[in-house]
């Protein structure tokens, strides 16, 4: 699948309660975390949107922002539905704002994993990573109904639509930054991240 036919969406719409501040704006080597994510995502997709409910002015300096349709911080599915609704492409690749080492071939692998399904998502040898997923816009009605019924669990939704998991061998690529301690450890072990991304 050509990358121009895929819209990338950075999920930054959560409360970041464990971090204590907006996770996507945490400073990593002089740059907000979401910009590191965007730099890694850019070669994999045609366009990038930011799913956010707070600080849209900052996120929106270089990117189109998409707030949840219902502003109740109801989890990633709400952000996914809003992004699918505004996407100009049939396929949308989702990446959370707190997984800075996500695979550089995420889009390619999830696209290649499709065999008639309308969704694929990442997993490693240890567990599933449903927020790193590729969804088709045709899922909007099913997702709308699912959320209207009060359901919020992403993994259950993906199973209900027959989404296929795609195995990635490097589990370290899915490490996420949830707390200030996670950020400090990341900076210590990845001192040259800003140089690598340039």
Look at residue 198 and tell me whether its pLDDT is greater than 60: no
Task: Give, in words, the CATH class of 3-192.
Answer: alpha beta
Query: Which of the four pLDDT bands, split at 50, 70 and 90, describes residue 68?
Result: confident
Q: Would you list the domain boundaries of the chain?
A: 3-192
pLDDT score, position 142: 96
* Mean pLDDT of all residues belonging to the chain: 88
- State the Cα–Cα distance between residues 198 and 193, nearest whole angstrom: 9
Look at residue 27 and tell me whether its pLDDT is greater than 60: yes
Query: Which of the four pLDDT bands, split at 50, 70 and 90, describes residue 135?
Result: very high
Give the residue from 161, 137, 144, 158 showing the smallest Cα distance to 70: 144
Query: Which of the four pLDDT bands, split at 50, 70 and 90, describes residue 151?
Result: confident
**pTM for the complete prediction?**
0.91
Inter-CA distances, 18 with 91, 152, 179, Å? 31, 20, 6
- State the Cα–Cα distance between residues 170 and 68, nearest whole angstrom: 31
Lowest mean pLDDT among 21-35, 86-100, 130-144: 21-35
């Amino acid at each position: 699948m050509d990358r121009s036919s895929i819209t990338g969406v950075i999920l930054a719409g959560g409360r970041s309660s464990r971090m204590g501040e907006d996770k996507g704006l945490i400073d990593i080597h002089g740059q907000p975390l979401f910009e590191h994510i965007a730099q890694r995502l850019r070669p994999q997709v045609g366009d990038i949107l930011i799913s956010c409910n707070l600080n849209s002015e900052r996120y929106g300096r270089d990117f189109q922002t998409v707030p949840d349709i219902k502003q109740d911080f109801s989890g990633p599915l709400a952000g996914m539905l809003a992004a699918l609704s505004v996407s100009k492409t049939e396929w949308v690749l989702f990446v959370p704002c707190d997984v800075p080492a996500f695979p550089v071939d995420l889009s390619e692998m999830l696209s290649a994993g499709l065999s008639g399904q309308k969704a694929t998502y990442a997993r490693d040898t240890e567990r599933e990573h449903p927020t790193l997923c590729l969804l088709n816009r045709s899922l909007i009605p099913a997702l709308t109904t699912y959320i209207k019924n009060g359901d919020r669990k992403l993994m259950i939704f993906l199973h209900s639509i027959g989404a296929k998991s795609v195995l990635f061998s490097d589990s370290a690529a899915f490490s996420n930054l949830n707390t200030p301690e996670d950020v400090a450890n990341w900076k210590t072990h990845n001192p040259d991240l800003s140089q690598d991304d340039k």
